[in-house]
Amino acid sequence: MRETFKDEYKYEEEKILQTRNIKVLGAYGTKAKGFGTTSFSLNKTDVIDAGNLLESLGEESIHVKNIWLTHQHLDHIVDIAYIIDNYFGIRKDTINILGTKGTIDAIKKHFLNDEVWPDFSKIQLPNNEMVVKYTEIELDKEYQISQNESIKAFKTDHTDSSCGYIYKRGDGAILITADTCNIDNAILEIEKDTTIKSVVIECSFPNHLEELAKNSKHLTPKMLFEQLKTVKRKDFQLYINHIKPSFILEIAQEIEEYEGDYEPILVKDGEILQF
């Protein structure tokens, strides 16, 4: 018999960690009315990217402690600015911004730099801790998040320092490429790690904009499924994200044309991804 509210709450938290899913807070490749940009909630305290934390989490965002960034583009970082600003008075914990060296350097130099937005690593919370701290992570190194959760970054082809992540919980894992125009490293990970049960890959532009996709280091349905042809394993669920909302119908139609044996799910804001 669980006696106190605190026990009940802890029990709920543990129950969530026994299931294997994450929540899409923002699914799309740019902001539009009713469409949020990339972010995933792994658990109460950890998110991958910060494109849509405010709209999706609201005040709950005060519990976010670790933001694992894939890269520094605005659609992946923008809500770092607003969750700090809106809930400064009630936030208790420092926000740890994690990413590769190039990503962290870009945030410090171009975003939270006292010019575009305050440098929150120099500003204290009411409890005297700094609002923000930074942690540089290494590629291909597994970081333990809790007793049964870990995360590992792998190199992608988007910015010089961009990465995707493999998030493990219990005996399953989900791989998220984030923005990339090449999924070679993701494929290596999928082939060697059969605990990966779900894969989220970006698809930003329709086929007729292949040139733009290549120049901006993104994928079209044709590029995506041509690269996926080399994957031997078929026992994973494919999810597709980062679609530019203005092309959503065109891209969805082209995905259907090229998907072959895959039965991809085009993710939406608020969607739960099982793995």
User: Rule CB under 5 A: which residues touch Zn ion?
Assistant: 73, 75, 179
Residue with the closest Cβ to Zn ion?
A: 73
Residue 228 CA from chain centroid, whole number: 21
Three-state DSSP class for 53? helix
Q: How far is the CB of 264 from Zn ion (least distance, A)?
A: 19
Query: What angle (nearest 5°) sits at the alpha carbon of residue 201, between those of residues 146 and 64?
Result: 35
Find, among 220, 196, 225, 190, the residue nearest to 207 by Cα: 220
| Cβ closest to Zn ion, residue 79 vs residue 179 | 179
Give the shortest CB-178-to-Zn ion separation in angstroms: 7
How many CA atoms are closer than 13 Å to the CA of 52, on its beta-carbon side?
A: 25
Q: Which CB atom, from 149 or from 157, has the smaller least distance to Zn ion?
A: 157
Is 179 or 254 the residue whose CB approaches Zn ion more closely?
A: 179
Tokens linked to 243: 């679609």
- Least distance in angstroms from the C-beta of 10 to Zn ion: 36
Tokens read off for 184: 């070679």
Compare residues 75 and 79 and give the one whose CB is closer to Zn ion. 75
Residue 51 CB, nearest approach to Zn ion (Å): 8
In the complex, minimum distance from the CB of residue 127 to Zn ion, in angstroms, rounded to a whole number: 34
DSSP state of 28: B
Return the bridge partners of 21, or none.
274
Nearest to Zn ion of 29, 221 (CB atom): 29
